[in-house]
Amino acid sequence: MTHWKRPVSVLVVIHTPDLRILLLERAAHPGYWQSVTGSQEAGETLRDTALREVAEETGIVAPPDALLDWRQTHTYEIFPEWRHRYAPGVTRNTEHVFSLEVPDGTPVRIAPDEHLGYCWLSGESAAAKVFSWSNRDAILALPARRKAPSVADGP
């Protein structure tokens, strides 16, 4: 039995408090930079998928409440070169956007089978570097979308 990827995925923009963005370079496509992405597995919530993908791709283990669900989706055409991973006839994917703020200096451990390297960039530089329009748009929207500090957090 073939295990097809689900056409439901997450995009997680990882950033520092001063809005430096973590980007990963795809191993299968050198020069293609992106935020954390990945497909939902059977039985997972979208939050579970996002937390799993962050841990797998960066080594960052985040508590569930640290993840900000933007409640925003993008539907796009799956690149023809990747369609063989999906059931026959599946050509579109729905991506759910999240962000995760981490402290400056958070160590990153990439998954070498998935990524060649990583970098931290300003939002403008990161938006210009990513290959995906949905990733670019999420990075550009981050300043307005980031989790606002609560009164309990102090100044």
CATH number of residue 12's parent domain: 3.90.79.10
Query: Does 1 reside within a domain?
Result: no
Count of the separate structural domains present in the chain: 1
Look up residue 44 and give its DSSP letter. -
**pLDDT of the chain, 155 residues: tens digit per residue:** 468 999 999 999 999 999 999 999 999 889 999 999 999 999 999 999 999 999 999 999 999 999 999 999 999 999 888 899 999 999 999 999 999 999 999 999 999 899 999 999 999 999 999 999 999 999 999 999 875 544 443 34
State how far the alpha carbon of 26 is from the alpha carbons of 35, 69, 70, 114, 115, in Å: 10, 24, 24, 6, 4
Residues 6 or more apart whose Cβ sits within 8 Å of residue 105? none
Q: Angle CA(116)–CA(118)–CA(119) in degrees, nearest 5?
A: 150
Query: Does 153 reside within a domain?
Result: no
Distance CA 65, CA 149 (A): 13
**Which structural domain, as residue segments, surrounds residue 106?**
8-148
Query: Does 18 reside within a domain?
Result: yes
Query: Does 155 reside within a domain?
Result: no
Q: Which pLDDT score, from 0 to 100, does residue 10 have? A: 98
The 3 state secondary structure assigned to 77-124 is: ECCHHHHHHECCCCCEEEEEEEEEECCCCCCCCCCCCCEEEEEEECHH
First to last CA, the chain: 55
Query: Does 112 reside within a domain?
Result: yes
Query: Does 82 reside within a domain?
Result: yes
Query: Does 127 reside within a domain?
Result: yes
Query: Does 3 reside within a domain?
Result: no
Q: Which pLDDT score, from 0 to 100, does residue 56 have? A: 97
